[in-house]
């Protein structure tokens, strides 16, 4: 199967690199995993993989490029993944390997140890992977992929612990950065979050004896699983049939969950920290309307990620809400761009303006973020071409000035518009009548922190806005990355 082409509209977005899912205690577990991966498809569209275990055939795996629906819905494939224990992974390629992913890079990764096999699926990014990889290779390890996640398997192989779950703990104590991990042995399903809890992971129950681990609650919903709780920062759960053991292998945690999960990454029908993602995004729009009011005739979302915030902005401001931009829902893998003239249409292949609605109107466009800014310019041009009198941008996140090193596909800092321009310079460059971002405190209020951001002890990881990295990106610093100067 061919890899999915990246559309020009999506190239100007921040992307999660992956989602993880696991099931134990249910017949044909791999089928439930495939459904969970489908629900998490927004977290990674390049490739997916499943590993299952059956006492008769042992560990079985399948890795495929493309959407889950194109491979893991075929009976002929799913029959090769028997058993009541399985884990899965959906992948979005990292900044260093866009478009060049090999099938060997697709997770879950598997290792055969003296006490049995173990498969691991990882959401996040290890910030000391380069140093670890160099050390492991010098000591004789042979890597099969370019993924930082493979370091965990090699660290497990070198551990002297006597059980696989203890070897996982041993390995994860050596790594730095962000990780939410779903792993499996022959009899156990294992979930772990790093001490800061940067990336999400939740626990659910399926039927009487089944349990589920998922990056988001929407993965539980699709298979009818009951949400039990979030795996807490720094927690490791080991699940066997009908039994859950919880330990804290990384000491006392301090939660620094990724705040951009609330803004964009997570699905709006998911629940994070007991809060509806949809409601949080709607509240961001409310904060925007309070902080950056504007005289206008129409509030329009940039679909689909700007929709909840646009609804909140419209409600708070009293300006009518309307679908001024319509998204083509059928832009998929099979679309062919045969000529240069077609390719140059760019955003128009995916978005179209509702001309009858916007003509003559002063339009407020609400979007989730500005990355490079190229898409914002094209959308502005489309709105003006359709006859809008004015275009005002309102952005449901603070300016993105710094790259993420914890599992998000981010351009290097030199390509981030807000890292190189003031807000007024950005407004002129994009070519809109006004441009405003929600403040950092406004974003924190929208996620439930009524007092705003605690400067001394930030409640979330917001490094993409502030440059304050809760874990030093050691590999990037070694490669020459310059940190923000301490205030």
CA–CA distances in Å: residue 265 to residues 290, 324, 347: 24, 23, 21
Handedness of CA 208, 210, 212, 218 (dihedral sign): negative
Q: Which H or E run contains 113? A: strand 109-113
Q: What is the number of alpha carbons within 13 Å of residue 272 lying toward its C-beta?
A: 29
108: preceding bond cis by omega (within 30 degrees): yes
Q: Are strands 257-258 and 460-461 parallel, antiparallel or unpaired?
A: parallel
Q: What are phi and psi of 73, to 5 degrees?
A: -110, 0
User: Quick one: how far is CA 126 from the chain centroid?
Assistant: 15
Q: Which two tokens stand for residue 390?
A: 């004015």
The conformational region for residue 25 under phi > 0 = left, psi -120 to 50 = alpha, else beta, is left
- Reported in sequence order, the residue ranges of 325-415 that DSSP labels E, i.e. its strands, are 325-327, 351-353, 362-367, 390-395, 408-409
| Angle, CA 99 vertex, CA 94 and CA 103 arms, to 5° | 85
Sequence-distant (6+) residues with CB within 8 A of 45 are 4, 66, 67, 90, 92
Q: Residue 408 forms beta bridges with which residues? A: 16
Taking each helix axis from N to C terminus, what angle separates 150-158 and 164-172, rounded to the nearest 10 degrees? 120
Write out the two tokens for 163. 């059980």
Sign of CA dihedral 77, 78, 80, 86: positive
Q: Cα–Cα distance between 171 and 13 in angstroms, integer?
A: 33
Helix (H, G, I), strand (E, B) or coil at 129: helix
- Between the two ends of the chain, the Cα-to-Cα distance in Å is 50
CA 461 to CA 249: how far, in whole Å?
21
d(CA 168, CA 194): 12
Q: What is the dihedral of CA 415, 416, 421, 425, to 10 degrees?
A: 100
Q: Where are the alpha helices (DSSP H) in 189-265?
A: 217-222, 260
Q: Which residues are catalytic?
A: 18
């Amino acid at each position: 199967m061919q890899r999915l082409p990246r559309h020009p509209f999506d190239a100007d977005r921040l992307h999660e690199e992956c989602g993880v899912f696991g099931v134990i205690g249910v017949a044909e577990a791999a089928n439930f995993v495939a459904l969970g991966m489908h629900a998490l498809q927004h977290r990674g569209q390049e490739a997916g993989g499943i590993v299952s275990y059956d006492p008769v055939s042992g560990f079985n795996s399948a890795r495929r490029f493309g959407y889950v629906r194109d491979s893991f819905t075929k009976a002929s494939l799913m029959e090769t993944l028997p058993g009541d224990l399985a884990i899965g992974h959906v992948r979005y390629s990292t900044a260093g390997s866009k478009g060049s992913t090999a099938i060997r890079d697709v997770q879950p990764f598997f290792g055969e140890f003296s006490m049995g096999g173990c498969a691991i699926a990882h959401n996040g990014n290890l910030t000391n992977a380069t140093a670890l990889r160099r050390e492991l290779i010098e000591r004789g390890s042979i890597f099969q992929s370019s993924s930082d996640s493979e370091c965990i398997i090699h660290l497990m192989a070198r551990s002297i612990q006597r059980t696989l779950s203890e070897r996982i703990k041993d390995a994860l104590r050596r790594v730095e950065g962000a990780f939410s991990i779903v792993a499996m042995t022959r009899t156990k399903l294992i979930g772990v979050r790093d001490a800061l809890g940067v990336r999400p992971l939740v626990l659910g129950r399926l039927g009487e004896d089944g349990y589920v681990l998922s990056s988001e609650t929407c993965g539980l919903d699709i298979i009818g699983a009951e949400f039990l709780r979030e795996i807490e920062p720094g927690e490791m759960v080991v699940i066997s049939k009908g039994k859950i053991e919880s330990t804290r292998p990384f000491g006392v945690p301090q939660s620094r969950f990724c705040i951009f999960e609330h803004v964009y990454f997570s699905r709006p029908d998911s629940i994070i920290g007991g809060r509806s993602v949809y409601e949080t995004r709607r509240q961001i729009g409310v904060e925007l309307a309070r902080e950056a009011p504007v005289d206008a005739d129409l509030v329009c979302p940039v679909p689909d990620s700007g929709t909840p915030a646009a609804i909140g902005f419209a409600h708070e401001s009293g300006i009518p809400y309307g679908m001024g931009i319509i998204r083509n829902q059928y832009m998929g893998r099979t679309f062919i761009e045969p000529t240069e003239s077609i390719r140059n249409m760019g955003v128009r292949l995916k978005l179209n303006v509702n001309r009858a609605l916007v003509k003559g109107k002063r339009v407020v466009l609400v979007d989730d973020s500005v990355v490079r800014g190229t898409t914002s310019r094209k959308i502005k041009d489309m709105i003006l071409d359709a006859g809008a009198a004015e275009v005002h941008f309102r952005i449901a996140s603070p300016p993105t000035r710094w790259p993420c090193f914890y599992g998000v596909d981010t351009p290097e800092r030199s390509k981030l518009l807000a890292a190189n321009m003031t807000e007024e310079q950005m407004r002129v460059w994009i070519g809109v009548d006004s441009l405003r971002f929600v403040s950092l405190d406004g974003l924190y209020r929208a996620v439930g922190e009524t007092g705003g951001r605690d400067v001394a002890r930030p409640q979330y990881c917001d490094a993409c806005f502030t440059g304050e990295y809760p874990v030093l990106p050691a590999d990037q610093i070694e490669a020459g990355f310059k940190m923000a100067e301490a205030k």
